Chain A
Amino acid sequence: MPTHTMRRLAILLIGICALFWAAAASAQNVGNFGAGLIGEQQSELDRLTVKIDELARKVADSAEDDARLVALRAELETVSQAVLKSGLAFRPRLAEINARLEQLGPAPGEGQPAEPDIVAGERQNLVSEKAEINVLLGVAENLSVRIKRLVDDIAAMRRDLFARLLTKRYTIDYALVGEVLTAFADEMGDFYYTVSSWLRFVFQFKLKSVTAAAFFALAAAAILVIGGRRVLGGLFVSDPAAAQPSYLSRLSVAFWSTLLPSAALAVFLAATYFFFDYFSVLRGDIGAMLRSLFYVVAVVYFVHRLGRAVLAPPQLEWRLIPVGPSAGHLLVVLVSATAFFTGVDHFLTKVFEVLGSPLSLTVGESLVSTFLTGALIILIGLVKPFVDAKGTARPWHPAFRFLLFGLGGATVVAGLLGYIGLARFMSQQIVITGAILATMYIGFQSASAIAAEGAFGGTALGRRYGRWFKVDETTLDQLGLVVSVATNFIVILIGLPLILLQWGFQPGDITAWLYRLATEITIGSFSFSLTGILSGVFVFVLLYFLTRWFQGWLDGSVMARGRVDAGVRNSIRTGVGYAGVVLAGLLGISAAGIDLSNLALVAGALSLGIGFGLQNVVSNFVSGLILLAERPFKVGDWIVAGAVSGTVKKISVRATEIETFQRQTVILPNSELINAAVGNWTHRNRLGRVEIPVGVAYGTDPRRVHAILLDIARSHPSVLKNPEPFVHFSGFGDSSLNFEVRIFLSDILGSLAVQNDIRFAIVEAFERERIVIPFPQREVLLRRETEPPAGDMSAPPVPVAPQTEPTARRRRKRPDPV
């Protein structure tokens, strides 16, 4: 036995040793790997620190250059990503270290037995490695803070730069004119030389490339134009035969006839530039100038096409804004000229920048172009575009007119006073922001035009949709409303960022704002997110429709096939509906990020108030559930509840809808149907008894009458044989022997016709058998009023009151079915 124990002990010992060795070895491996990681990330962070230092220096150096600051900012953002990535690289190692430390457990305290050295050493190693990683993470964190500070600095510098640009004043005097003229002549010479030398170079060495580039660019544009015309077809061309085209068709023609050629031109220019660049036809200076030229050409062309489509299309009826014909053409010319001069200014500034011209030239050129732009804006304000009924021209709306005067005047005055930066900014914004605003305005107009009744169904898209999905007019109309709302959203979503970009905001800023807006809105201590709410609503809507679908499927496919009773079907359907809606609501609320436990607290606090205030509603609701579960009556039953008698039409949460036989709808609260007695004529079946009372004169043979009545009842086809009809000799009336025919019908709802048949038959049979039906007779005694003979006072006065025989028949009181 002892040897056995010894052997066991030895095995155990060997096992423990092996385990320790393996653990130590793996720790060693991991440790090596960890050291490698730390070194790697250390050098990465060092590299990033150097890069940030360099960027910080560059930022300080380029305080005057807006474009460069923007580029530096973008670079800083990528560095920031790299810093974060470097921090993230420690994640797996940290997880390992933490897991291992957890396995090792805490170090033994005072008085506890010491642990093996190997364990203490490993813990020590791990802890120190973790400390190193923590330090490096701290470095990365500080770097991210530094980057943020630099980005903030850039924002402040750009703001300053912009403010200085707008407020910087140049002296404008006669000396400037002379300077500008000489410099202009010089620079034009330079420009000519640059361009002609480039052209010579192109013709001599790159002619094939240029031809190929032009060919490819033209092909791309042609594909767009031809393909667009083929796909869009009728949308594109205004129909000359249409006398009064609708706003939507005018709009679609204006939209496509602006968009397609503009896009084609833009594609052509972009492709040309791309291929020139690709074949290295461009030199640095020519490239910058060409880019600017292409940009200007595209913008001017777009403004011109837009102006023509809106104000003066080839067919007069297709204008979007009802301006007079000559005024329309004039406006198109003025608007295009405004865009043209602004574009020329943009292009020349670029050229002068590339050629390194003196500042005075840029100032002089900008002065002229901004003056022209301002003057053109004022001229646009002076045009009287509208024609009233009498044919006299009317000016713009005063607010718009004075806005134009103000903008144009301010541009001219700013330019003349020497604030060239401000004047240029204004003239560019007037053209570009104006074009965007005009397009947005048309977008809003189209949204409201689509929302008009029947408008969406009339559009090609609506017709196509209606054909595909076979939807009716009303649905199409509702869809039009949705499309209209969506259009408004899209217009704002596209137009607003475009304008903000024009005004010097960065795409990064805008997305950051949008993100903030979408993810967290804080009011006091309560914060919610727009996306959360949207997704909550989405979940609710989805589950709601899913419930409806499930309900329909259960009812129509499963229960209808399973021959389930209509009442049960209705109950299950309604129950499933309630459960689904409640579930959808709860899931929607939790998807919206609203904590349900908070809701429970509120509900607890309010339950007392709800108990008192909503007592009736809750009681009716619960009663409704009981009605669904217990089913004392179902839809289609004939019930009598208190004074109300009629057919049940609908059992809903709070009340039950009953239609009386006069076709009056009575809404009866469910609690009344639960708390009081309810009669149901058609609960288990439609079998019911009908009584027809009849009286015969005294002296008739009652047995004969009994036999006749029984015969009549038995011979009617609708009267049930079992339970068989019964004739009840019900009593001796004041003037008649009373009988009652009691018959059972399989469908009580058709009792009136049977009653009629039986009554006719009784009358006919009694006539045949000469049996008399007595009726109350009234005997009236008339007495002529005469003078009583004198002295004859003994004669009593005769009463005048009529004598009435009591009613021969007692009528049973029974609810009349009709």
Chain B
Amino acid sequence: MKKFCLALAGLVAMSGHGMAASATNLDSEPRTLIVTEGGDKSEIAIGAGETVQFCPSGCFVTMPNGDREALNGSETVEISGGVGKIK
């Protein structure tokens, strides 16, 4: 019974577990990313030290210093000094 429930729960969690890119702001001031996801442009403000999840299925990002990058939705972006680095 327990095994079965566990297996079921595992299956649900695994099947539903989505991937998304995450961005962490290591600076002491809030930074803004411009994200074009599925053709919709939006600005994401990230407070100091915050981490946000965005872009589940590919997007274009403009970093705070004006650099552009394309993401496929599984990256981790670290922003320090306004420069976004993709890990």
Give the interface of A toward B (CB within 8 A).
80-81, 84, 86-88, 90-91, 94-95, 98, 130, 133-134, 137-138, 140-141, 144-149, 151, 469, 471, 475-476, 478-479, 482, 486, 515, 518-520, 529-531, 534-535, 537-538, 541-542, 545, 593
Contact = CB atoms under 8 A, between A and B. Distances in A.
A151 B70 contact: no
Contact of B40 (A80, A91, A98, A148): A148
Nearest to B83: A98
A515 B69 CA distance: 24
Given A84-B70, A137-B68, A471-B1, A151 B12 contact: no
Contact of A90 (B3, B8, B39, B70): B70
Contact of A94 (B9, B36, B40, B67): B67
A537 B6 CA distance: 11
Given A91-B86, A95-B86, A147-B39, A535 B1 contact: no
A531 B39 contact: no
B6 A137 contact: no
A27 B68 CA distance: 22
A84 B18 contact: no
Most buried by A among B40, B41, B69, B72: B69
Contact of B56 (A90, A148, A519): A519
B67 A87 contact: no
Given A144-B60, A545-B6, A530 B16 contact: yes
Contacts of B10: 538, 542
For the complex of A and B, the 6 pairs showing the least CB-CB separation, nearest first, are A148-B39, A87-B70, A137-B68, A538-B13, A141-B60, A531-B16
Given A148-B38, A519-B56, A520-B53, 8 more contacts: A84-B70, A88-B72, A144-B38, A471-B1, A482-B8, A519-B20, A529-B53, A535-B17
B6 A138 contact: no
A130 B68 CA distance: 9
26 contacts: A84-B58, A84-B60, A87-B70, A88-B70, A91-B69, A94-B67, A130-B67, A137-B60, A137-B68, A140-B60, A141-B36, A141-B68, A148-B38, A149-B39, A475-B1, A482-B1, A486-B8, A519-B18, A519-B53, A531-B16, A531-B17, A531-B18, A534-B13, A538-B10, A538-B12, A542-B10
B2 A545 contact: yes
A537 B9 contact: yes
A486 B67 CA distance: 48
Interface in B52-71: 53, 56-60, 66-71
Contacts of B60: 84, 87, 137, 140-141, 144
B39 A482 contact: no
A475 B10 CA distance: 20
B41 A531 contact: no
A478 B1 contact: yes
B58 to A, nearest CB: 4
Main secondary structure of the interface of B (DSSP, over half): mixed
A395 B56 CA distance: 53
Most buried by A among B38, B68, B72: B68
B68 A541 contact: no
Contacts of B6: 541-542, 545
Interface in B17-42: 17-18, 20, 36, 38-41
Contacts of B56: 515, 519
B68 A138 contact: yes
B18 A137 contact: no
Given A88-B70, A538-B10, A145 B4 contact: no
Contacts of A148: 38-40
A593 B17 CA distance: 12
A545 B71 CA distance: 38
Nearest to A101: B83
Contacts of B86: 91, 95
Interface in B63-87: 66-72, 83, 85-86
B48 to A, nearest CB: 13
B8 A535 contact: no
Contacts of B71: 88
Given A148-B38, A478-B1, A486-B8, A91 B70 contact: yes
A534 B16 contact: yes
A469 B71 CA distance: 47
B58 A534 contact: no
Contact of B4 (A138, A141, A146, A482): A482
A94 B41 contact: no
A515 B1 CA distance: 30
Given A134-B68, A545-B2, A145 B41 contact: yes
A156 B1 CA distance: 50
Nearest to B66: A134
Contacts of B8: 482, 486
Contacts of B2: 545
Contacts of B58: 81, 84
Contacts of A535: 13, 16-17
Contacts of A90: 69-70
Contacts of A515: 18, 56-57
A130 B38 CA distance: 24
Contacts of B72: 84, 88
Given A84-B70, A479-B1, A518 B18 contact: yes
Contacts of B40: 148
B9 to A, nearest CB: 5
A520 B85 CA distance: 25
Nearest to A135: B68
Contacts of A531: 13, 16-18
